[in-house]
């Protein structure tokens, strides 16, 4: 018999399937209101200290993260499922886990960390292919991240107009900020079925 006291409390956002219309990128990149991903910090009971913007085209996905309070050891983790396979209970070859930092580490600002189960895998992205443009001062930082299609196994926005997606923005010795699902309740890097959905829209 299940003892209810042993079940962790779920955040309100866990009772909803989140979908966001990710706009098409044509021309130069700008972090506009249309491209800002809505925050779920309040629903997750978190402090909101960062904004994240995103757009797509056939060649790449662009993400810009603006963090208002900088601390040592900050990082941004981005999770994508290029087929948005909500029926998959574990990481598939279409899943990607990237980590980026405002500070260069071992010659790079970003790399792929995806951990697979079994043989359903893809080759990890070459960190040389990941473009990161950092801007920072003593109190805040911004990262503009370009992930080319070659680094996203299964990325085919003509045939598949949806992506599974979540993020985790980390601060040293302070709680993280998440989107749609929190790692306080779930191992988000291993449960892509819980990630939100990005609908790739706007191409004409």
Q: What is the pLDDT of residue 71?
A: 85
For residue 22, give both structure tokens: 């990710």
- Per the structure, how many domains does the chain have? 1
156-183 average pLDDT score = 92
pTM: 0.90
pLDDT digits (tens, 9 = 90+) for 18-61: 899 999 999 999 999 999 999 998 888 889 999 999 999 999 99
Tell me how far CA of residue 122 lies from CA of 41, 57, 118, 144, 166, in angstroms. 32, 22, 11, 25, 20
Residue 42 gets which letter from DSSP?
H
- Residue 70 lies in domain: 23-200
173: left (phi over 0), alpha (psi -120 to 50) or beta: left
* Segment (H or E) for 200: strand 196-200
12 within some domain: no
Dihedrals φ, ψ of 56, to 5°?
A: -140, 160
Q: Is the pLDDT of residue 12 over 50?
A: no
62 within some domain: yes
4 within some domain: no
Which residue's structure tokens are 């994240």? 52
For residue 107, give both structure tokens: 């010659």
144 within some domain: yes
CATH number at residue 127: 2.60.40.1190
6 within some domain: no
30 within some domain: yes
5 within some domain: no
Residue 53's beta-bridge partner residues? 36, 64
28 within some domain: yes
Catalogue the E-assigned strands of 23-130.
50-56, 60-67, 75-81, 95-105, 108-112
Specify the higher pLDDT residue, 4 or 88. 88
């Amino acid at each position: 018999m299940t003892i209810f006291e042993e079940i962790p409390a779920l955040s309100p956002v866990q009772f909803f399937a989140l979908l966001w219309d990710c706009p098409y990128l044509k021309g130069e990149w700008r972090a506009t209101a249309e491209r800002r991903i809505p925050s779920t910090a309040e629903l997750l009971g978190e402090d909101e200290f960062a904004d994240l913007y995103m757009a797509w085209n056939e060649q790449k996905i662009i993400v810009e993260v603006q963090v208002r309070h900088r601390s040592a050891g900050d990082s941004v983790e981005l999770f994508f499922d290029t087929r948005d396979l909500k029926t998959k209970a574990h990481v598939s070859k279409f899943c990607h886990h990237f980590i980026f930092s405002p500070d260069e580490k071992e010659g790079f600002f970003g790399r792929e960390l995806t951990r697979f189960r079994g043989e359903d895998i893809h080759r990890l992205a070459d960190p040389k292919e990941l473009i990161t443009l950092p801007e920072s001062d003593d109190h805040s930082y911004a990262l503009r991240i370009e992930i080319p299609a070659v680094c996203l196994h299964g990325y085919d926005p003509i045939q598949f107009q949806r992506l599974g997606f979540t993020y985790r923005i980390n601060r040293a010795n302070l709680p993280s900020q998440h989107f749609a699902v929190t790692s306080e309740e779930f191992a988000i890097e291993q449960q892509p079925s819980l990630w939100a959905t990005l609908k790739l829209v706007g191409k004409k």
